[in-house]
Structure 1
Amino acid sequence: MSSDERLQNPLTDALFEAVLLLKDKEECYRFFEDIATIAEIRALAQRLEVAKMLQRNDTYTAIGDVTGVSTATISRVKRCLNFGADGYQLILKRLQEQSK
């Protein structure tokens, strides 16, 4: 599945090109600390953890307890896992392969 055309524009392209230039975790911390709020970064991190937990078939209650997100956020991530652009699927597969 391809990405949503509404997201694609020169500014977003430039952002993603910049992210691809980051070399390690420390550079990611430095860049994201400057470009986003702590709350925005934490929200993204929570969504990734929700996706991991949904993939493991954890319950909404367990996911909420661990991540602190609402059931609405869990539902949104689940919808993206099932019907999205396969971005979560892509990264979850790579993370799983990396941990082997």
Structure 2
Amino acid sequence: MDGYKDDDFKGIDQRLRDSSTDALFDAILLLKDREECYRFFQDIATVAEIKSLAQRLEVAKLLEKNVTYTTIAQSTGASTATISRVKRCLYFGADGYQMVLKRLEEKEKGED
């Protein structure tokens, strides 16, 4: 598909893969800093959609720290269904959360 080998996307849901999604991800990869991200995402998504994605990442961070569902729900406002879905993806998904959380941790250590 689009010049990629199937092995290039092992573990990726094939329903995601098409030229439009490739173009979206290519556009995101062109963003140079946080301000550009704010500008682009403000135009392409609603505030609620962006906040929902941010909430899921925060939930994943807390789950990695073994914080309880109750505490996560109270601190993030996420429903237990959202927390459960994030947990499932965190431990049985395509390893996207794991990859990003590891890089965020490495970045934080480098800023110390």
Instruction: Give the TM-score category using the shorter length.
Output: over 0.9
Letter in 2 for 1:39: A
Q: Which residue of 1 aligns with 2:105?
A: 96
Separation in 1, partners of 2:49, 2:33: 20
Letter in 1 for 2:35: E
Q: Which residue of 2 aligns with 1:82?
A: 91
Offset, 1:3: 1.2
Separation in 2, partners of 1:22, 1:37: 18
Q: Which residue of 2 aligns with 1:19?
A: 28
Equivalent residues, number: 100
Separation in 1, partners of 2:84, 2:18: 28
Separation in 2, partners of 1:14, 1:82: 28
Q: Which residue of 1 aligns with 2:38?
A: 29
Separation in 2, partners of 1:36, 1:11: 16
Separation in 1, partners of 2:16, 2:32: 25
Q: Whose Rg is larger?
A: 2
Relative to the length of structure 1, the TM-score reads: 0.98
Of 64, 72, 75, which aligns to 1:63?
A: 72
Offset, 1:2: 2.6
The structure whose RCO (Cα within 8 Å, separation 6+) is larger is 1
Runs of 4+ in structure 1 deviating by more than 2 angstroms, as ranges, are none
Offset, 1:44: 0.1
Letter in 2 for 1:81: L
Question: What percentage of aligned pairs have identical amino acids?
Answer: 70
* CA RMSD, Structure 1 to Structure 2 (Å): 0.7
Superimposed CA distance per residue, residues 22-71 of structure 1 (whole angstroms, 9 cap, x where no aligned partner):
00000000000000000000000000000000000000011001110100
Separation in 2, partners of 1:53, 1:71: 13
